Structures are given as structure tokens and as C-alpha cells.
Copies of this chain bind each other. A is one copy, B any other.
């Protein structure tokens, strides 16, 4: 089992319990013949479920159970993994990465705990001021967008925003396959003068770099496909992400409700369903596989608590892709190369 192909999966986290996670794990093992999974959690519980998920034979040879005593629940603090929950599945998964037994980790559990485990146990990359949580959102353009930070850093300085932008660009290029991604800084108007002091200074820092920089991005630019990467502080990012999720859900629920309103609309609903499905699918978070925490010494993918098996599969898939493309090394290189171009000249 090579660490390079190995991903540690927190089997115990997530709203739906271990069975959904294992089901996603089985999908991933089947779809990716080179993947190895460290299944982290209660050994007995996992062992007794492997067969029912079809993890046997060749698949089983690429799955290894790593026991963890406890699990971080929603009532626990994020920092509990440093104290009373040192043996929790999310922390043990992070330790697999730190010790070189896995190249990345995936958790659908307590977001804060997964962030603390990634930052404190795996650790921050040299040259990175602060790791940040990215989210991949569908757009009405042809590519998805990387929005970051969405919750790891509430108060940010301009140099943090600039680094977020650059880390997001590495991810967009290497994992999403978007060549020369267009980068923006989230602000309140297109013109350079618009924004807060922090965002204006971030523009200054990014403007002279050799990147595809589009300057300020407005709120609407998150969805129209004009940008591939948009950087913001974790406060704005978190609010935008949560409000967008709720708005999209509300609209779809309302439409579903109106499709069931009476007999005519029920019939109409049946007729439009096939055409609507591809549109729904485009906006389905489950296709995008969770939020990468960028800037740590390994891959860390933090999934939605209510992930279904497809979302778990996709989270493992993007973790494996991040590992294959050595995202942490690329981020480290990019930080040196772009923020301190003189440094590169010195060392080469």
C-alpha cells in the first residue's frame, strides 16, 4: 500500500452514520483501481459492514481499517480533538497523514474539528500564512468556481486574501483542470477603488503577479462564470455560501411544491422532469465532493455533514486527484514563486 495513493477516510463523521460513508468508500474503490483507503473508525463496526458494501476480494486488499475509539459529535467543540477527543476518528485520520501513511484525509463530520485536526495535526505548509477552506460551486458559465475562504478565517488581512487567491488557482488548475484560471477578489464594485481597505490592498498585491487576474469580482460574478477563483475573508465567504445554499434549496422546494399543486401541474411536472434533471444535477453539491482545506501539508477534504454516498465518493475522488497532482507541493512552490520571485532566483 503506497501512501501516495492512500486516503484516510473518517468513517464515523457525518449525519447519516458510517454506512453511507462506507457505501461511498466502496464506490470509490470500484471506480479508482489505484486507490487505497484507510478506513478510520470503530474497528468492529467497520469490519462487520464491509461485506454488505461489497468491499471484499481485490477491493478489500486496498482497504485497511484503522481503529479510533471515539467520534467528535456536533455538541463537541472543534478543539476537543486536542484534549478529550484525542482518539477521535477525525484526529486519527489526520495522524495517518502526518505520519505519512496517507497523503490525504476526508471527513464528513464536525467541520471545525476537521479544520483543527488538519491545521494542528497535519500542520500548515511553510510559507502559508493561514490555511483556508475552499468551496467549489457550480456556475451558470461553463466552469465551476473556487470560492475561498468560506469559514476558516473570520478576520483577514490583505496578504491572506492574496494567498487564498493563489492557493485557489492551484486547485482550479490541478484538480478542476481549468487552465490559467481567472482570479478575482470579492468586492462591492468592479472598479479598483471599490471595496474595503483590505480588499484594495489585496488587489495591489495580486495586480503585478504573473497570473490571470481580473481584479474585483462582485457578488453576481460568483455565478456568471466570469471568474474561476474568487478570494474573500471567511466571514463573507461563509455568509455567501450559507445564504446561497438556503436560497437555492428554497427555490427548488417552492418549485417542487408548485408542481404538485393540482392535477394539471402534476401532469406538467411529469413532462418537464427529464429536461429539468440535467439542470438540477449541475447545481447539486454532491457532484463537487466537499471543501478542500488548502495550505496544509497534505490533502484535507471536508464534506457536508449530510453527504450522501455520491458526495462521499466525490470527496474521495477529489482527495485522490489532489494527492495525484501533489497539491500541497504545488501550493508551496507557487507561494515562493509568486510572492517572493527573488527567492526562486536565489535557490536555483
Contact = CB atoms under 8 A, between A and B. Distances in A.
Interface residues of A, number: 59
Contacts of A278: 258
Interface in A230-287: 232, 234-236, 238-248, 250-255, 257-259, 261-262, 264-265, 267-276, 278-279, 282-283
Interface in A143-192: 151, 154-155, 186-188
A242 B255 CA distance: 22
A197 interface: yes
Contacts of A265: 271-272, 274-276
A345 B317 CA distance: 66
A4 interface: no
A15 interface: no
Interface stretch (A52-60, A115-123, A216-224): A216-224
A275 B220 CA distance: 28
Interface of A: 140, 151, 154-155, 186-188, 195-197, 218-224, 232, 234-236, 238-248, 250-255, 257-259, 261-262, 264-265, 267-276, 278-279, 282-283
25 contacts: A140-B250, A187-B235, A195-B235, A219-B238, A219-B240, A219-B246, A220-B246, A222-B246, A236-B239, A239-B239, A240-B243, A243-B243, A244-B244, A244-B247, A247-B248, A251-B252, A255-B255, A259-B275, A259-B276, A265-B271, A265-B272, A267-B268, A268-B271, A269-B272, A272-B272
A229 to B, nearest CB: 16
A246 B186 CA distance: 15
List of 4 A-B pairs having minimum Cβ-Cβ separation, nearest first? A268-B271, A219-B242, A219-B243, A220-B246
B258 A276 contact: yes
B264 A271 contact: yes
B240 A223 contact: no
Contacts of A221: 246
A164 to B, nearest CB: 15
Nearest to A224: B246
Copies of chain A in the complex: 2
Which one of A270, A271, A279 has the highest number of Cβ atoms from chain B below 10 Å of its Cβ?
Answer: A271
Given A140-B254, A244-B247, A247-B247, A259 B234 contact: no
A245 B220 contact: yes
Nearest to A232: B239
Given A151-B188, A239-B239, 9 more contacts: A220-B243, A232-B239, A236-B236, A247-B248, A251-B252, A255-B279, A259-B275, A268-B271, A269-B272
A248 B241 CA distance: 14
Contacts of A267: 268, 271
Contact of A244 (B243, B253, B271): B243
- Residue with the highest number of chain B CB atoms closer than 10 Å, among A151, A250, A261: A250
A342 B245 CA distance: 44
A79 to B, nearest CB: 12
Contacts of A219: 238-246
Contact of A239 (B188, B245, B254): B188
Nearest to A252: B251
Nearest to A199: B235
A154 B188 contact: yes
A333 B269 CA distance: 52
